[in-house]
Amino acid sequence: MSRLYTTGSLNLDSDGDDVVGRGDARFMRIPFKGRRFHQGIMETRNIVIIGPGRMGLGIALSFALHQFHVRVVDGKSRSSAEYERVKQKTKRELRSLLNFLRGFDCLDEPPGAVLSRVSFHAGLNEAALEGLCIFEAIPERPDLKVDLLRRISPYVRRKTIVASTTSTIDLKTLRTGFAHPESLLITHWLNPAFIIPLVEISRTDETDPQAVQWMKRTLKKVGKKPVVLKDSPGFIIPRIQAVAMNEAVRILEEGIATAGDIDQAIKYGFGFRLCVLGLLEFIDLGGLDILYYADKFLSSAFKGERFKVPRLIEDKMKRGETGPRTGKGIYDYRGKNVDLLFRRRHRQLIELLRRMEGSGPRPSGRRGGIG
């Protein structure tokens, strides 16, 4: 018998599954199209978002499109007239985004029906913060986020999950302002939040594991691809992005290439392959020895630590684990059909290129095509 964990008014079993919704597996294939729930359940599915900015509205739209009720809370001190102005501006932005999605046939109901599940509230109090989960989506300043968590602590139930949407700040910093660190985690969404599938979930040893499982399950219900990681400044994507972006700027300021040519190289080279391959998989398929010798040369050319060979790559080289052809790299390929693996990736890249060039994938006269 699974142990139940109550979060707001949602019951979970020990695997993080929603007991109320169990048995209803009717997910839509198009990510934006809503999942329909049984009559009478929907009012228990309230999500609170603090901050009516671009990220907050993107998250609100992600949940409202999948039949959740969303309360967007403006935590700033404003006059009634200022609040009404912000509220109307927020509604216009949401309706504009919904009309955009409708133009791509991504809605299975009128925009007004989606908007009817989004409400607005001024000020921080117990009524405003009642929900399954609270997403903090205010500007990326540690002092502001810590202060907000301190201000909402008296009104938040102990088992309510609170998720900061920070893109760089770690939980160790944020937890200083919150009364229930076991219910605090980070969900790093990428803009535009209602389109990009990835959400990074960051947790500490203090974080309740079932809170993490609930968040994973819930994000999947709204079409997201969550990944879980240990609390660390910069998480996964911002750390990798920062390195790549800094190098692009350095190449520009050194006069090596124009901005347009740098971006062209990223779109049709580096970034193009990463639409099909994860970065570590890319290292494997190219061969760890390629990265090893490239790092050696670049370290000699540029000096310093910037291109130092990672210890893991050094160890793999010593063991002769350089990728699929040797049976192991970062991943284990023993017992796998390596030639088939390469053909599948090649086929995906060809199909992607045809879409980018506007021709779309060509119909194949036989099953299987290239791969």
CA dist., res. 165 & res. 186, Å (int): 6
Is the model's pLDDT at 371 over the cut of 70?
A: no
In terms of domains, do 203 and 255 share one? Answer: no
pLDDT at 370: 25
In terms of domains, do 200 and 283 share one? Answer: no
121-153 pLDDT per residue, tens: 999 999 999 998 999 999 999 999 999 999 999
293-329 pLDDT per residue, tens: 999 999 999 988 889 999 999 999 999 999 999 999 9
Closest to 199 measured CA to CA, from 191, 207, 208, 190: 190
pLDDT at 303: 86
Is the model's pLDDT at 16 over the cut of 60?
A: no
Residue 227: both structure tokens together: 């990944």
Split at pLDDT 50, 70, 90, the class of 366 is very low
- Higher per-residue confidence, 304 vs 39: 304
In terms of domains, do 131 and 275 share one? Answer: no
In terms of domains, do 200 and 247 share one? Answer: no
In terms of domains, do 35 and 166 share one? Answer: yes
In a domain, 71, yes or no: yes
Chosen domain end from 211, 230, 249: 230
CA dist., res. 265 & res. 361, Å (int): 23
Chosen domain end from 230, 249, 276: 230
Is the model's pLDDT at 232 over the cut of 60?
A: yes
pLDDT at 361: 44
In a domain, 364, yes or no: no
In terms of domains, do 267 and 210 share one? Answer: no
State CA 243 to chain mean position distance. 19
Average pLDDT over residues 168-186: 91
CA dist., res. 61 & res. 95, Å (int): 10
194-223 pLDDT per residue, tens: 999 999 999 999 999 999 999 999 999 999
CATH number of 113's domain: 3.40.50.720
Closest to 68 measured CA to CA, from 49, 54, 83, 52: 49
In a domain, 362, yes or no: no
In a domain, 367, yes or no: no
Split at pLDDT 50, 70, 90, the class of 363 is very low
Closest to 2 measured CA to CA, from 185, 210, 208: 210
In terms of domains, do 282 and 225 share one? Answer: no
In a domain, 249, yes or no: yes
Q: Summarize the chain as % helix, strand, coil (round to 5).
A: 45, 15, 40
Average pLDDT over residues 50-73: 96
pLDDT at 12: 35
Average pLDDT over residues 39-64: 81
pLDDT at 359: 52
Is the model's pLDDT at 278 over the cut of 60?
A: yes
234-254 pLDDT per residue, tens: 899 999 999 999 999 999 999
Split at pLDDT 50, 70, 90, the class of 15 is very low
Number of folded domains in the chain? 2
Closest to 108 measured CA to CA, from 28, 221, 41, 42: 28
In terms of domains, do 98 and 44 share one? Answer: yes
Model pTM above 0.85: no
Average pLDDT over residues 253-281: 94
Q: Show the domain range for 11.
A: 5-230
pLDDT at 240: 94
In terms of domains, do 330 and 207 share one? Answer: no
Chosen domain end from 230, 265, 300: 230
Cβ-contact 133, 8 below 8 angstroms: yes
In a domain, 368, yes or no: no
Split at pLDDT 50, 70, 90, the class of 358 is confident
> Distances in Å between the alpha carbon of 113 and those of 5, 75, 168, 339, 366?
31, 26, 35, 49, 43
In terms of domains, do 222 and 291 share one? Answer: no
CA dist., res. 82 & res. 94, Å (int): 19
In terms of domains, do 196 and 66 share one? Answer: yes
The set of residues, in sequence order, having a beta carbon less than 8 Å from that of 329 and lying 6+ positions away, is: 283, 284, 287, 288, 316, 321, 322, 323
In a domain, 220, yes or no: yes
In a domain, 340, yes or no: yes
In terms of domains, do 192 and 283 share one? Answer: no
Q: Which of 3-17, 94-108, 160-174, 347-361 has the lowest mean pLDDT?
A: 3-17
CATH number of 346's domain: 1.10.1040.10
